[in-house]
Amino acid sequence: MATISEKNTAPISRNKLLGVAGLGWLFDAMDVGILSFVIAALHEDWNLTTAQMGWIGSVNSIGMAVGAFIFGIYADRVGRKKIFIITLLLFSLASGVSALTTTLAAFIILRFFVGMGLGGELPVASTLVSESVPAKERGRVVVLLESFWAAGWLIAALISYFIIPSYGWRIALLLTALPALYALYLRINLPDSPQFSAKKDVLRSISTNIKDVWSKKYRKPTLMLWIVWFTVVFSYYGMFLWLPSVMVLKGFTLIQSFGYVLIMTLAQLPGYFSAAWLIEKIGRKFVLVTYLIGTAASALVFGNAETVGMLLAAGAFLSFFNLGAWGALYAYSPEQYPTVIRGTGTGMAASFGRVGGILGPLLVGSMLTAGYGIEWIFGIFCVSIILGALAVAFLGIETKQMELE
């Protein structure tokens, strides 16, 4: 009979790896998705101002920035698998405990730790999968990994629609603690990246890895990644964390808002699947640039929509293009670096992107408080996304089916 250590070093099939890592990704999305609905519910329960609502989303992103930076660096030191499990446990337990809070201060502190776990887990999981599948299908598999995010958002929307109005937001958050049990299963069944296992005896200092990310050889791809990560995260969290609340501000009830966002969320899945197909047929750059431009156009239309039909159509296209772009970005990022700095480079880019996630929700809250309309806010997000598309177009290289260093 194989021992646990033997199991952990045995190869794992592509589908099993995708399922194991994907479920972790699904739980991440479920937590972030539920937060957007919880913010809308807390607005009514705790009489929050728009500025306070913005701070909840921003503190979550502050934690994600810290987590992506720290855990990305340590993934190159101790392994992808260990960090994957630690981050999964961290965000699961902190999210469950946050359901018991009675003050905004306590809720915000716990959301910081939730964000740390989320921010660390996402780039580490994509790096693990990138290093574990052949070059010819690497991009498609990583985008399919990202498609679990859409499933998590759908579950979050369903829980929010059926649970929050009847049983309250606390029950919804308690459901997000379930991944902690799954993390214990991962400890036994998930092997580490074969590329990391081959290089794990090559000990490099953290400062050396950070310097190498910005060395002359990798300066251009690093600059490109930092720009696109910032613009994508800034617009995503600014738009999607506020989406249920924006619908309420446009005159719909809380329950109507949850229902409409659920419909929009359904468009995420075809966005991922189309990106997964195109990314190996045409390439990463084409998918990223095309889907980012589609996101920008959809954001502009959504901000100016005045009818239910236009809102739903623009919201659906926003979900389709934005989440397809996310999938391509997670596939593209680890391909920019060699194994010894892959976790550090991807984590640092994601960490800088989370700064955008801090500013996005705060921007919405402050602009609404100042009396600006939704059309102005979504216009800013439109410009931001176009800047990200230009960075990929002019600074990025095509990495389709390239062997990883």
| Residues contacting residue 272 through CB under 8 Å, at least 6 positions apart | 143, 144, 146, 147, 149, 150, 323, 324, 327
Inside any domain, residue 46: yes
Residue 69 identity (one-letter amino acid)? F
Inside any domain, residue 4: no
Q: How many domains does the chain have?
A: 1
Inside any domain, residue 404: no
Return the pLDDT at 109: 94
Return the pLDDT at 8: 44
Inside any domain, residue 254: yes
CA distance 368 to 377: 9
The domain that holds 146 is classified in CATH as: 1.20.1250.20
CA distance 154 to 104: 27
Inside any domain, residue 137: yes
| Number of other residues whose CB lies within 10 A of the CB of residue 313 | 17
φ, ψ of residue 112 to 5 degrees: the values are -65, -45
pTM to 2 decimals?
0.79
Parts of the chain with a pLDDT under 50: 1-10
Inside any domain, residue 146: yes
Closest CA to 350 of 131, 122, 127: 122
Question: Angle CA(374)–CA(58)–CA(389) in degrees, nearest 5?
Answer: 65
Over residues 343-362, the pLDDT tens digits come to: 899 989 999 998 888 888 88
> b vs e for 109-119, b when ≥16 Cβ sit within 10 Å of the residue's Cβ?
bbbbbbbbbbb
Return the pLDDT at 296: 97
Inside any domain, residue 119: yes
Burial class (CB in 10 A: 0-12, 13-18, 19+), 204: middle
Return the pLDDT at 371: 84
- Output the DSSP codes for 199-250: HTT----HHHHHHHHTSTTTHHHHHHHHHHHHHHHHHHHHHHSSHHHHHHHT
| Residues contacting residue 156 through CB under 8 Å, at least 6 positions apart | 29, 30, 31, 32, 33, 34, 36, 37
First to last CA, the chain: 35
Q: What is the span of the domain harbouring residue 46?
A: 13-197+210-395
Return the pLDDT at 137: 81
Inside any domain, residue 7: no
CA distance 261 to 102: 27
> b vs e for 337-364, b when ≥16 Cβ sit within 10 Å of the residue's Cβ?
bebbbbbbbbbbbbbbbbbbbbbbbbbb
